[in-house]
Every structure is written in C-alpha cells, then in structure tokens.
Structure 1
Amino acid sequence: MPVRLDKAAITEKTSTLPDWKTDGETLHQTKKFQDFVEAIAFVNKLVSPAEAIGHHPDISISYNKVSITITTHDAGGLTELDFQLAQTISNLV
C-alpha cells in the first residue's frame, strides 16, 4: 500500500505543480476549455496514463470545465502516486 505523505512533503511537492491546489488530503484542479468537445477530449487523454499506473482521479465535467480531484483512498490522503498522476495530467495540456 502507498505511504501517506506528511504535511512538509505535501507542501514541497504541491509547490512544483502551480495549477494544483491542496487541502492536505487531496489535490484539485479545474481546467476550462473552449467547449464541451474539448473538455471531453481532455478527459479521454487521462484514461491511458491513469490506467498505466493503476491510479484514477475523480472527475467532474460541467460543459467546458473539467474538475479533477486526486487522493489515495487506501492511504487516507496524499501519496507519491497522487503527485505522479497530477504531473502527468499537467503535461497533457
């Protein structure tokens, strides 16, 4: 099972992901696209990387906005895996 990160590690790692916010338990980002089709295309790009590492974000779509929340439920908070997935998602845009 992945190991939950402490507050200092979370703060340090979040500082390298400027588009992501954290509450200490999750990473969150909302991206805005031109329209629904672009929003869905972005979500479709997430499938392969998430499957590859076996870690899946919570996703909410509202027309042209995609909200992504990442946490490791089994660990009860943020782990290295969450930051790896967040970095991968940031690189997709």
Structure 2
Amino acid sequence: MSKLSEEDIEKKLLRFPDWEYYDNAIHAEFEFENFKDCFGAMSRIAFECEALNHHPDWRNIYNVLTISLSTHDKGGVTNKDFKLAEAIENIVEPEE
C-alpha cells in the first residue's frame, strides 16, 4: 500500500466531512453525551483497529475523542487510513 497524494486525500475526504488533512495525517474530533459513551465507542473502535491491524493516535478528554490516522511505515496517509476512518464513522455515527 502506497502513500496517497495530497490531491487523492482531498478527494477521499469529500466522503468524510468530519475529517481534515494536516500534518501528514487525517484528523477528526467526536463529542459524545458523556465519558461512558465515549469510552464505549473507543472500545468498539479498538476491535476494528485490531481486525485491520492499524492503530490510531488518539486522545480522550471526558466526552471528546480526538483521532489522527496516518500509516507511519509509509510516511503518510494511505487507503488503510480511510478504511479505518470509515469503520470509525460507522461506530460513532451509525446509519439510521
């Protein structure tokens, strides 16, 4: 899997309005009702990360989850990051 160009990243981000590209990674911040809901989402995301063998840089402060995705061994964003971003979106904002 190769690193995506900035143009390819910007095109792919059109499908992910909650995400931004900067500092060689894609980033998003999600706010939940409370800490328990945030931690529950993190737990579900962790299972997806293990299944994809791809792990985010993330931070949790009370009810806010901040996530950065980059494929470190490729030196930037790859399709693997967008696959994980899609899984994260399906967990934090499921289709109704």
TM-score range, shorter chain: over 0.9
Report 1:59-74 matches (<5 A).
59-74=58-73
Give the Å deviation of 1:24.
Answer: 6.1
- The separation in 2 between residues aligned to 1:25 and 1:13, in whole angstroms, is 15
RMSD of the TM alignment (CA)? 1.0
- Go from structure 1 to structure 2 and tell me whether the alpha carbon gap of 1:10 and 1:24 turns closer, same or farther (over 3 Å shift): farther
Question: Per chain length, whose mean CA-contact separation is higher, i.e. which structure has more relative contact order (CA < 8 Å, sep 6+)?
Answer: 1
Report 1:8-87 matches (<5 A).
8-23=7-22, 25-87=24-86
- The separation in 1 between residues aligned to 2:50 and 2:18, in whole angstroms, is 22
Give structure 1 stretches of 5+ with no counterpart. Answer: none
- The separation in 1 between residues aligned to 2:30 and 2:6, in whole angstroms, is 25
Aligned to 1:92: 91
Count of residue pairs the alignment pairs up? 92
Q: Flag as ranges the 4+ runs of structure 1 deviating above 4 A.
A: none
Q: Does the aligned pair in 2 maintain the 1:24–1:78 contact within 8 Å?
A: no
Give the aligned residue type for 1:80. Answer: N
